[in-house]
Amino acid sequence: MSKQIVIIGAGGHGKVVADIVMLSGDTVLGFLDDGKALGETVCGIPVLGPVSAYVHFPDVWFLVAVGDGTLRERLVSRMNGVKWYTAIHPTAVISPMETEIGEGTVVMANAVVNPCARIGSHCIINTGAIVEHDNEIGYFSHISVGAKLGGTVKIGEKTWVGIGAAIKNNVTVCGDCVIGAGAVVVRDITVPGTYTGTPARKIR
Ligand SMILES: CC(C)(COP(=O)(O)OP(=O)(O)OC[C@H]1O[C@@H](n2cnc3c(N)ncnc32)[C@H](O)[C@@H]1OP(=O)(O)O)[C@@H](O)C(=O)NCCC(=O)NCCS
């Protein structure tokens, strides 16, 4: 049966999530966004009020569509007792072999999730990203457009892997890291921070 979805966040990421929901045959009722006025529309979809208005929609499914992992976590923690929608684009390739995808997670167009990969809740697997076999992705993490994770990579909670970055197989990246666009991570990262370049080094 078709589900009714309210999306938290009416920015660019929210638009992409709305597209995925509709392509999946479900219905987008509208956005909740503290930065937009009630009655505004975004890509023809209405803004239904601020985030606190979620209490007026008891029977729908929600998804927090905000790129920043820390803000995403804060918003999720404000919304007690709701049903979280998991959005998977019809062109994403998700292995049926023991893969797990947590609630509230988004898997975008042409992303690949291979066998035994485990993705936590409220993550973003962005357009064309590759999550290889036996990967573990911590909750609220973001694997950006075209990023590639080799086999048996572990990514900690709230870590953001930038656009086109690559993580070598068997490498672990701890939580609360930013891996810069195009970086290549060849060794474990155990200290939270921002890492760029090839091989990736800590810049702060
Ligand atoms: C790594 C990153 C977070 C740093 O951002 P920032 O804190 O604003 O840093 P700055 O832009 O001030 O750059 C600091 C220095 O790092 C360098 N740098 C920044 N990003 C870099 C990258 N990805 N690779 C190599 N060097 C980088 C800058 O050239 C600058 O060097 P300098 O001091 O010699 O001039 C950011 O550049 C980045 O790569 N973000 C990822 C964006 C992305 O993937 N978006 C995906 C959306 S799906």
Question: Residue 67's domain is classified under what CATH number?
Answer: 3.40.50.20
Shared-domain flag, residues 109 and 23? no
Q: Where is 22: in which H helix or E strand?
A: helix 12-23
Q: Which range marks the domain in which residue 69 is found?
A: 4-85
110-149 burial: b if 16+ Cβ within 10 Å, else e: bbbbbebbbbbebbbbbbbbbbbbbbbbbbbbbbbbbbbb
Shared-domain flag, residues 204 and 105? yes
Distance 46 CA to ligand 1 centre (A): 35
Shared-domain flag, residues 150 and 203? yes
* Among protein residues, the one whose CA lies closest to atom 48 of ligand 1: 144
Domain count, the chain: 2
Taking the whole predicted model, whether its pTM rises above 0.95 is answered as: yes
Shared-domain flag, residues 128 and 93? yes
CATH number of the domain residue 184 falls in: 2.160.10.10
Shared-domain flag, residues 106 and 157? yes
Ligand 1 pocket mutation pick from 110, 143, 161, 203 by most atoms within 8 angstroms of CB: 203
pLDDT tens for each residue of 109-128: 999 999 999 999 999 999 99
Shared-domain flag, residues 52 and 145? no
pLDDT tens for each residue of 85-109: 999 999 999 999 999 999 999 999 9
Residues whose beta carbon lies within 6 Å of some atom of ligand 1: 126, 144-145, 162-163, 178, 180-182, 194, 196-197, 203
